[in-house]
Amino acid sequence: MLTPVIYPDKALSTPAQIVTTFDDNLHNFATALGQMMHDMHLVGVAANMVGNLQQIIVLNGKFLNLEQETVYMVNPVVTVIGTNKHRAIEASPSLPFIETPIERPAHIFMKYQTLTGESQEGEYLDDVAHVIQHEMDYVAGQTFLDRIPKAKARLLKEKMFKLIRTGGPKIKPHVHGAHCNH
């Protein structure tokens, strides 16, 4: 089973390579990546997040209300970016325990290939466009921390490393009720 690498693993800051061979190895890896995404209840994942430097992103169609349950995009390229913005909270299993709001274009056009090498084009809006761009940052060797001011990124990394050292956030026991947000 695949598992995410944790920041500052070099795979997260290294641009992925273009996929040139569309074979069973690619299909098996991408399928395993998609399975990890579903098992972890993620909305998307990029190959870099498991230390594999191939230009592959996978989207969770169930969470994103897409026609397919799992969408595989190989060698994705955004070709047109709209001017309207979409703001969402971003997080990652490769950056555990932290999240932050990020603003991205709300409308994109892109080209990519399927797992068999077939060329595809698509237009994506709002949440789907946001998730695609988040995953494409990994393909480019970046994370959402590269999209915020350096001082804020430093504080979030310090928080993450502290929580990793101490075993994660401690949740105090309490009576569940209308005031809960979980």
Decide: 81 and 104 in contact? Cβ < 8 Å.
Answer: no
C-alpha 113/C-alpha 75 separation (Å) is 6
Catalytic residue among 67, 118, 135, 158: 135
Question: Which residues touch 144 (CB under 8 Å, ≥6 apart)?
Answer: 90, 91, 92, 95, 100, 102, 134, 137
Helix (H, G, I), strand (E, B) or coil at 178: coil
Other CB atoms within a 10 A radius of the CB of residue 34 amount to: 21
Other CB atoms within a 10 A radius of the CB of residue 11 amount to: 21
Annotated active-site residue 135? The verdict is yes
Active-site residue list: 135
